[in-house]
Amino acid sequence: MPEQRARKYHQDRVAETLREEIGAMIEGELSDPRIASAYVTQVLLNPGGKSALIYVAVDDSAGEVQDIEAREKGTIEGLMAARGYIRHELLERMGVRHVPELMFHIDRSERMTARVEELLERQKRRQKKTAEAH
């Protein structure tokens, strides 16, 4: 039992370090114009540590859905193109022998949550109006 807890703790620490370092690179070091203003929401490390799924959310503070989708697509393309550079930098910064293979995905959970909340609020208002009418 303790061995598995130690392994899980180590994986969590590695995933958190990857999240912080990749987030810092996205914020200031990657100069690809395709990469929009984005941040890393979650890193899922494969149990063997050979690969990692990095979930990135594009800042959608200014824009329409089509624009956001285009920025998300461009961001993923830019990050996938910069994978080699990112892995090399992680190798130097983390001081480890092996950096996992990186796969980037868009995290739309915040946007979906906001949409569901908006729909629920709209439904509550409808019910309130109906109750007042009766």
- The predicted-structure confidence for 75-91, as pLDDT tens digits, reads as follows 999 999 999 999 999 99
Structure-block tokens of residue 120: 């629920």
* Residue range of the domain that includes 96: 2-108
CATH number of the domain residue 43 falls in: 3.30.300.20
Mind listing the pLDDT tens digit for each residue in 16-71?
A: 999 999 999 998 888 888 888 889 999 999 988 899 999 999 887 655 566 888 88
Q: Could you tell me if residue 124 is inside a domain?
A: no
pLDDT (0 to 100) of residue 7: 83
Q: Is position 130 within any domain?
A: no
Determine, yes or no, domain membership for 23. yes
**Is the pTM value of this prediction over 0.75?**
yes
User: What's the pLDDT score for residue 91?
Assistant: 92
Residue 89 lies in a domain: yes
- Number of independent structural domains in the chain: 1
Length of the chain equals 134
What pLDDT does 2 receive? 59
